[in-house]
Amino acid sequence: MSVGALCHTARETVAWRRVKELLYSRSFLRDEKMRVAMDVYAACRDRKPPRQMRREMRRMKAFWHCTPHQYYLYECYRRSAALSPDDLEAYIPTYYFYHLFIPACEIGRHGAAYWSLLDDKCISESLFSALSIPQPETLAKVAGGRLYTARYDPLTDRDFEKLLAETAHPRIFCKTARGGRGIGVRACDRKPDGSYSPADGTVVSGDFFRGPANNGNYLIQAGVIQHPELAAIHPESVNTYRVVTCLGDEKPRIICAMLRMGRGGSVIDNASQGGIVVPVDDCTGIFGPAARSFRYESFPEHPDTGYAFAGRSAPHWDAVLDCALRAAGKLRQCTFIGWDIAVGSDGPLVLEANFGFSLQIHQMISGGLKEPFGIGDPDEYWTYRFGRHR
């Protein structure tokens, strides 16, 4: 047997997966999310008795066969967290989710082969256009420092500058094609002379995308003029819904959802960039009691505008729900997708589709998602051989 075949066989054994989990567990302790969680734990004065915490962590480890990082990530140690044994077991470990469950579910559809299509914003824009998935207007694309139209017809610098001068949008967004977590997104406002500039005052032109700081592939889109009801929550950012869908054998369904908002005047709504998130009940469209930040802060009201969340209906939820389900039905090669959806004056617009849709932040605000994801016996995904789809 060749070395490659031997390694492949080893990876298919439960023992090898256990080894990988231990290695992952050690590296995850250095992850920023875990460091923040441990800082919050260290500062907590509302902890359960040590014996109870050890007992609960042993239970979680025995159930999932994973190091129980989730005990700290989701503040299960708090006395105020009156969690039953079933509640504790409902929190899916990060390793289990991304290294066992998702691969097993996507193998049946060959979904992993399509991930790169959505990881690249320029390619996904073309895909959405072909599938008639509503999205913001695309003004141009940049590939290898060269300018193109949305359909990849070449643009000269003069053509690009003329296009921007004739554009009436008050704001455009220049997004790195493979950026994530709000990184590489630059909001550029229209100036009186018709040019566009980000906060640093640099004029957007062909040379803008050829400098050492910006060289790469970009998607340039018109900024969404969001619906007034969503602008009232935090007007400086485009506040977007993140809706996670599951494509079953017949039709898609919703797993979980939240609204992402900027704060402090930021134009970015991503939680890892300082934004906050509030859960949305996918059945009723009602907001949860409070928004949370990446650093575990809790906000019953938006800290800037005083917008109260508890019991309030999520604006235009039915239209957002319909948009997410329709879009998921058109990408039948992928089982799970997290859709980022804004609501403009003419209805919902899909900004991005994500495979890495941040399990942690969803479980932080919605509780354990074992049941919504349809996980029964965790051993099934430790021992799977050829995968399956749901």
Contact between 339 and 328 (Cβ < 8 Å): yes
Residue 390 pLDDT more than 60? Answer: no
Helix (H) or strand (E) holding 362: helix 359-366
**Token output for 285:** 């469209």
Q: Do residues 239 and 233 lie in contact, with contact meaning Cβ atoms separated by under 8 Å?
A: yes
pLDDT the model gives residue 278: 97
Share of the chain above pLDDT 70, in %: 90
Taking only the tens place, the pLDDT of each residue in 157-177 is 999 989 988 888 999 998 888
CA distance 156 to 152: 12
Measured in whole angstroms, the distance separating CA 79 from the mean position of its chain's CA atoms is: 30
Over 50: is that where the pLDDT of 10 sits?
no
Tell me the C-alpha distance between 108 and 324, whole Å: 22
Taking the CA atoms of 259, 260, 266 and 268 in sequence, report the sign of the dihedral they define: negative
User: What does the pLDDT read at residue 5?
Assistant: 36
pLDDT of residue 120: 87
pLDDT in tens, 65-83: 999 999 999 999 999 988 9
Question: Which stretches within the chain are classed as H helix?
Answer: 3-11, 14-28, 32-43, 50-64, 70-73, 85-89, 94-95, 102-107, 115-119, 121-130, 157-166, 228-231, 317-330, 359-366, 379-382
How far apart, in whole angstroms, are the C-alpha atoms of residue 99 and residue 93? Answer: 10
**CA–CA separation, 368 and 75 (whole Å):** 12
From residue 18, alpha-carbon distances to 23, 38, 48, 138, 379 in Å are: 9, 24, 29, 46, 12
Find the radius of gyration of the CA atoms of the chain: 22
Mean pLDDT score, 90-114: 82
E-strand stretches of the chain = 138-143, 146-148, 171-176, 185-190, 196-197, 218-222, 240-247, 252-261, 276-279, 291-293, 298-299, 336-344, 347-354
Cα–Cα distances (Å) from 376 to 62, 361, 372, in that order, read: 15, 22, 10
Task: Give the pLDDT mean for 325-350.
Answer: 93
In sequence order, what are the beta bridge partners of 338?
A: 244, 354
Question: Each residue of 260-310: pLDDT tens digit?
Answer: 999 998 888 888 788 999 999 999 999 999 999 999 999 999 999 999 999
- Per the DSSP assignment, residues forming a β-bridge with 25 are none
Q: What is the mean pLDDT of residues 121-142?
A: 94
Residue 284 corresponds to which tokens in the numbers above?
Answer: 């009723």
| 179-189 per-position pLDDT tens digit | 666 567 888 99
To the nearest whole number, what is the mean pLDDT of the chain?
A: 88
Amino acid sitting at position 304: D
Tokens of 12: 């298919």
Calculated CA dihedral for residues 53, 54, 60, 66, nearest 10 degrees: 130
Q: Which of 35, 87, 21, 81 is nearest to 59 (CA)?
A: 87
AA identity, residue 3: V
* Secondary structure letter of residue 382 according to DSSP: H
What is the 8-class DSSP label of residue 66?
Answer: S
pLDDT tens profile 16-26: 888 999 999 99
